[in-house]
Amino acid sequence: MSIVIDTGNRIAAKAAIMAKPDVVAAYPITPQTTLVEAIAEYYAKKEFTGEYICVESEHSAMSACIGASAAGSRTFTATSSHGLLLMHEMLHWAALARLPVVMCNINRVIGPGWNIWVDENDSISQRDTGWIQFYCSSNQEIYDTVIQAFKIAEHANILLPVMVNLNAFILSHTSMPAEIPEQRTVDDFLGPYIPGWKLDIENPVTFGNIIGPDSYIKVRYAMQQAQMQAKQLIPQVAKEWKKHSGFFHGDLIEYFECEDAEYILLAMGAIGAESKIAIKELRSKGHKVGLARVRVFRPFPTEDIIALGKQAQLIVIDRNISVGNEGALFTETKAAVSGIPETSVQGYIAGLGGKDVTYQDIETMVEKAMTGKAAHQLWYGVEEDR
Amino acid sequence: MPDDLSTSAENTWCPGCGNFGILSAFKKAARKLEERGIDREHLVICSGIGCHGKIFDYLRLNGLYSLHGRSMATVQGMKLGNPDLKVVAFAGDGDAYGEGISHMIYAAKRNADITVIVHDNGAYALTAGQFSPTSEKGFKGPSLPNGSVEEPLNPLALMLEAGASFIARGFAGKIDHLSDLMVEAILHEGFSVIDVLQPSVVFNNTYKEYNERTAIIAQTPRSYEDAIRLAKDKGTQVPIGIFYQVSKPVYHKELMGSWNPVRDKTARNDRLKKIKEIL
Ligand SMILES: Cc1ncc(C[n+]2csc(CCOP(=O)(O)OP(=O)(O)O)c2C)c(N)n1
Ligand code: SF4
């Protein structure tokens, strides 16, 4: 075991190569570039001995991963923002063909209105592709999640691609310490990828055939079943990883000061991490508040959120907006607790376009929600600028 | 020097970047075009994403800041929307010959009446120096520290094969020559492309090489075969100038004749009259 201080991107790259993928295919985009370039460095130094290919677009990157995965390879890629959007149809393909590709996505704003800072509209807009989605909040969590992502994706009951999201710059380019286990530990934990079926000349199979309505609905049903099973498997895999590495990341939700909380804040990504400071501050003022940091957005942790809704009033901060409706976490949280009569859910949209969301901002949002004066969903940082 | 074609945007290109030469050449070209009856309102620009794309911010002209690899597709729509416009797409080599290469091939194939100016620096500059479709074999960058194992594309030969009706190469260090090429390309009716050798002082500084090796083509090759031969020439000199120009039917005219959806739109009253007739 060693402790390294490095950026989220470089830690993600370290995790990716320690999982020993057979194929990495990528196309550059800020702020993902330094992740793939770290892999390129390992490749150049022969510390990563899989195939590494620089392709001509993100559509090609995901296509190459799909081909490699179908041929039985462990595959990894990384992208961000417009790159992720250009992959869109191949994201569906990978999931429908049940190919366990693992990808890091660095959450970045979508243009125009060109901007390279963080928000989560890129990955949230891909939530219906069938990919499992994680949102990290520290570099240690990035490391642990990338390793576990391979285990989850390749599990015989799951066989779905996994997207590990990290917020642009706040995580991708910020150095933090992370404990990196020995290669042996990762090898023992992951083992090789043994596909249930693959492109094999000895035993030919085909992927992506034409199928009629009776079969197609079953394909979707099976994907849904796999996602539901992942809710159980994700914490199990985390526990297993803890046995190997000593670290626990984690459940579908990370709970902080929730035991006696009367108000619980739900947030994802870096806002989730910043919220811990806000919660401490609010507690020091005597407020019974807690934080539920949603780590896994797909599968959606409905049962856990119902439990929270039975205990406390919920406040949601979204760094994304489904224009024409609401923030995605807000909508899905409300849907989860809709059967619980006394629960109220207040929502905020904050931090779009990389606008800073500090712990003071979070305190302000929570305090306002606690007065009961907050509207159904408010935009934080728009009114105040007027 | 700020002038009437400049904007208030702060220029963030590195000092000495070849993009400055392209910007100056384009401003000169825009003025020459005005002298030849093409006013600024009818010159519309579009750019991709990359260092080159910032030219959009620095030119006081109408247009649209498109996506990485898509400016060539966007201007085709502009042209069809209003064929009276002269439309120019700025693109990087990553933009034009990587992410958006299909748009180049199809614009050439259908002889879309657009002009594409490719800032060819043999690198993905904005994303910090990765190898690109025109990087030389062996090019070392952060995505390939041991060097690229791929042969570069030959964009001029590719565009010739695809059916482009105007093909030129310019050099960002020869501004007057480049500006003349731009004028010719924009006046040309049909698909015109200028591959501009653009030194990136940070990631691929080719000033010395191109200052020494570029040579203006004495006469535009007369035949397609001669043009291909010149495009594939790997001699010590790097020819710049017009490689090929031919007159061919253009896409919007094949599609719509002389009809212009903006100019020839049915007047409101006539439309209402027609609706009444139908009703
Ligand atoms: C779909 C998509 N993928 C990747 C990017 C990231 N990106 C921005 S500029 C660029 C390449 C720039 O290279 P080039 O087109 O040659 O232009 P230059 O910067 O060299 O002028 C890339 C890959 C993007 N903006 N959109
Ligand atoms: S990085 Fe290269 S292409 Fe970009 S502005 Fe600097 S010199 Fe020009």
pLDDT tens sequence across B50-103: 999 999 999 999 999 999 999 999 999 999 999 999 999 999 999 999 999 999
Across all residues in chain A, what is the average pLDDT? 96
CA distance A282 to A355: 22
Residue nearest to atom 1 of ligand 2 (CA): B125
Q: How many residues does chain B have?
A: 279
Mean pLDDT of A355-383: 91
- Per the structure, the complete domain to which residue B104 belongs is given by 18-278
Q: How sure is the predictor about B1, in pLDDT bands with cuts at 50, 70 and 90? A: low
Give A385's pLDDT tier (boundaries 50, 70, 90): very low
Q: Do residue B68 and residue A82 have CB atoms under 8 angstroms apart?
A: yes
CA B241 to ligand 2 centroid distance, Å? 24
Whole-number Å distance, alpha carbon B17 to ligand 2 midpoint, is: 5
pTM beyond 0.80, yes or no: yes
- Rounded CA gap, A52 and A123, in Å? 24
∠ Cα A97 A101 A105 (to 5°):
125
Cβ proximity of B196 and B122 under 8 Å: no
Which chain B residues are Cβ-neighbours of A44 within 8 angstroms?
Answer: 144-146
- The answer to whether the CB of A340 falls within 8 A of the CB of A310 is yes
Which of A29, A43, A54 should be substituted to probe chain B, the one whose Cβ sees the most B Cβ atoms within 10 Å?
Answer: A54
CB contact under 8 A, A56 and B124: no
Total of domains in chain B: 1
Query: What's the rounded Cα separation, in Å, for the pair A31 and A351?
Result: 17
Neighbouring C-beta atoms of residue B84, cutoff 10 Å = 10
* Whole-number Å distance between alpha carbons of A48 and A9: 16
Q: At what angle do helices B175-187 and B18-35 cross, to 10 degrees?
A: 50
User: Is 70 exceeded by the pLDDT of residue A192?
Assistant: yes
Higher pLDDT, A215 or A250: A215
Residue A198, phi-psi category: left (phi > 0), alpha (psi -120 to 50), beta (remainder): beta
Query: DSSP letters of chain B?
Result: ---TT--SSPP-SPTT-HHHHHHHHHHHHHHHHHHTT--GGGEEEEE-SSTGGGHHHHS-SEEEE--TTTHHHHHHHHHHH-TTSEEEEEEEHHIIIIITHHHHHHHHHTT-S-EEEEEE-SEETTTTSEE-TTPPTT--BTTBTT---SPPP-HHHHHHHHT-SEEEEEETT-HHHHHHHHHHHHHSSS-EEEEEE--BTTTB--HHHHHHHEEE-SS--SSHHHHHHHHH--SSSEEEEEEEE-----HHHHHHTT--TTTTPPPHHHHHHHHHHH-
CA distance A219 to A214: 9
- With 50 as the cut, is the pLDDT of residue A188 above it? yes
State percent of chain B over pLDDT 90: 95
Q: What is the CATH number of the domain that holds B53?
A: 3.40.50.970
Q: What confidence score (pLDDT) does residue A374 get?
A: 73
Q: Where are the domains of chain A?
A: 2-245, 253-385
**CB-CB under 8 Å, B131 with A54:** yes
Does the domain at A253-385 match CATH 3.40.50.300? Answer given as: no
Q: Pick the closest to residue A322 from A337, A335, A313 (CA basis).
A: A335
CB atoms near residue A71 (< 10 Å): 15
> pLDDT for A106-133, tens place per residue?
999 999 999 999 999 999 999 999 999 9
- Tens of pLDDT, residues B246-262: 999 999 999 999 999 98
Q: Domain A2-245 maps to which CATH number in 3.20.20.70, 2.40.110.10, 3.30.70.20, 3.40.50.970?
A: 3.40.50.970
For ligand 2, atom 5: residue with the closest CA: B13
What residues in chain A have their Cβ under 8 A from chain B's Cβ atoms?
26-30, 33, 36-37, 40-41, 43-44, 54, 56-57, 82, 111-112, 114
pLDDT digits (tens, 9 = 90+) for A49-63: 999 999 999 999 999
The token duo for A235 is 């914490």
Q: What does the pLDDT read at residue B87?
A: 98
Topology match between the domains A2-245 and A253-385: yes
Q: Whole-angstrom Cα distance, residue A296 to residue A52?
A: 29
Task: Label the pairing between strands B43-47 and B62-65.
Answer: parallel
Task: Give CA–CA dist B22/B181, Å, rounded.
Answer: 11
Please say if the pLDDT value at position A172 is more than 70: yes
Supply the ipTM of this predicted assembly.
Answer: 0.93
Q: Does residue B10 form part of some domain?
A: no
CA of B210 to the centre of ligand 1 (A): 24
pLDDT at A148 over 60: yes
Residue B2 banded pLDDT, cuts 50, 70, 90: confident
By mean pLDDT, which of A1-10, B183-192, B259-268 is the weakest?
Answer: B259-268
Average pLDDT of the residues in B157-164 = 98
Query: Which ligand 2 atom lies nearest to the CA of residue B19?
Result: 8
- Per-residue model confidence (pLDDT) at position A386: 41
What is the token pair recorded at A232?
A: 């159980």
The alpha carbon of B87 and the centre of ligand 1 are apart by a number of angstroms equal to: 22
CA distance B225 to chain A (A): 29
Give me the torsion for CA of A233, A236, A240, A246, rounded to 10°. 120
Residue % of chain B over a pLDDT of 70: 100
Nearest CA in chain B to A36: B143
Q: Which residues on B lie below 8 Å from A79 (Cβ)?
A: none
Q: Which two tokens stand for residue B134?
A: 């025109």
Residue B53 neighbours by CB distance under 10 Å: 24
- At residue A384 the predicted structure's pLDDT band, cuts being 50, 70 and 90, is low
Tell me which residue of B240, B179, B248 sits closest to B215, measured CA to CA.
Answer: B240
Q: Is the CB of B49 under 6 A from ligand 1?
A: yes
Residues A37, B131: C-beta atoms closer than 8 Å:
no
Per the CB < 8 A criterion, the answer to whether A103 and A79 are in contact is: yes
Q: Which residues of A touch B98 (CB under 8 A)?
A: 56-57
Structure tokens at B254: 């094949």
Interface contact B99-A57, CB threshold 8 A: yes
